[in-house]
Amino acid sequence: MKAQQPRTIIEGYTQGTTYRVIYFGNETRVPKKKIDSVLAVIDTSMSLYIPNSLISVFNQPATSTIEMDEHLANVINRAFYFYQLSDKKFDITVKPLVTLWGFSAENIRQFPSQKTVDSVLAFIGMDKLEIEGNILKKKQAKVSIDLDGIAQGYSVDVLANLMDECGVDNYLVEIGGEIRTKGGKEDNQAFQVGIERPYADSDEGFILNLKNCAVTTSGNYRKTFDFEGKKIHHHIDPFSGYPLQNNVASVTVVAENAMDADAYDNVFMALSPEEGVALADSLEGIELYVIYKEEDGFKELFSRGFKKYLK
C-alpha cells in the first residue's frame, strides 16, 4: 500500500478576504510568513484600502503619473488586453462609478441621479490612460482605477509562482474563492472544487476535477436588489454608468492561470449567455459555465470543453 504524502495547510487573511494554501509532499516547507510577506507587497501596490499604495496615490486628483512596480505593471498591461478583447466592456477606470453606486469603502445614503451618472461617465474609459515604459499616466485629473476584477486572480498566480520557486509540485492556492492548482492530491488524484448552482429548491452543485489549471466564479444572484426597475449589483457597465442589466446570474471560468480566469469572468458577466459561450469556444484554454435567469427559472450553458472537468 502506497503511503500518503504529508499535507500542509496554511491559512490567513488578505485583500479583505481569506486565503488558503494546501500542498503535498515532505521535501519542502513554505513558511506562512513568506506567503504573508508576498501578499503584503501586493497590497502596497494595488490595495484601495491602503492610502499610500501605488493605486491609491495614482487615484488622487493631484497625481497625473506614477512609476509602476512589477505587480502593478503586470496587471495594468493585462487589463488593456481584456479592454480590447471585450470591446471595452472590461474597464478598470470604473472606480468613480463603483464609488457612486456604493460598492467601495465609502457608504452612500441615496442612489445617484441620471445627471450625476452622466457627469461621472466623462472620466470613464481606458483610452484616458497611457503607458510609457513603467510610467502610468492619466489624461484627466478625475480618472481613477479599480483592479478588483483582475488583481485577486493575479495574487493567486503570484502565490502559485512562489510555490513553484520553493519546489512544491502539488498544490492548491485559493484567495476569496479564486483557485489555481498544480499536480494533484494523494496518489495523484485531481483537486476537487465545488461550484454552486443557484436553484431556490436545491442544494445541488457541481464538483470540478482540477489539475494544472485555475477556476474562478463571479455572480450577482446573492447581492442583487431592485432600484427603479433596475438590478443593482457590483458589476458596472462602463457605457451606461449603471450596474449591468442582463440575465446572467453567474459564470464559472476555467483557465490556465487565475488572473485570466478572474478577468474573463468579468467579461462573461457583461455578455449574453450565448455570446459568452461563443467567445469561450473561440479561445484556446478557456472554458465557461453560465447560469442565467429566464421567466420560468434558472437555465445553464456550457462551453464545449467545460464538462470534461465535471466529476
Q: What is the pLDDT of residue 69?
A: 98
**Listed residues 138, 154, 184: the one ending a domain:** 138
Q: Which amino acid is at 158?
A: V
Residues 181 and 304 in one domain: yes
Choose the final residue of a domain: 121, 138, 155: 138
Cα 42 versus chain centre, distance = 15
Residues 197 and 286 in one domain: yes
Q: Report the CATH number at residue 70.
A: 1.10.3980.10
Domain shared by 202 and 280, yes or no: yes
Confidence (pLDDT) at 199: 61
CATH number for the domain spanning 242: value is 3.10.520.10
Domain that residue 252 falls in:
176-309
Q: Based on the domain organization, do 220 and 120 belong to the same domain?
A: no
Kindly tell me the sign of the dihedral angle through the C-alpha atoms of 30, 36, 41, 47: positive
Is residue 22 domain-resident? no
Q: What is the pLDDT of residue 305?
A: 96
Residue 183 belongs to a domain = yes
Three state DSSP letters for 110-168? CCCCHHHHHHHHCCCCHHHEEEECCEEEECCCCCCCCCCCCHHHHHHHHHHHHHHHCCC
In a domain, 53, yes or no: yes
Length of the chain as a residue count: 311
Instruction: Look at the chain and report how many structural domains it folds into.
Output: 2
Which amino acid would we find at residue 93?
A: T
Would 3 be classed as within a structural domain?
A: no
Domain shared by 99 and 222, yes or no: no
Flag whether 15 is in a domain. Answer: no
> Is residue 223 situated within a structural domain?
yes
* End residue of a domain, out of 138, 167, 201: 138
User: What average pLDDT values come out for the chain (311 residues) when binned by 10 residues?
Assistant: 72 94 82 96 95 97 98 98 96 94 67 91 97 97 96 98 94 96 88 79 78 91 55 80 88 97 96 96 97 89 96 78
- Which cell numbers in the block locate residue 193? 472544487
CA angle at residue 18 from 16 to 22, to 5 degrees? 155
Please report the pLDDT score of residue 1 as a whole number: 38
| Separation CA 265–CA 246 (nearest Å) | 15
3-state secondary structure (DSSP) of residue 214 = strand
| Residue 111, in any domain of the structure | yes
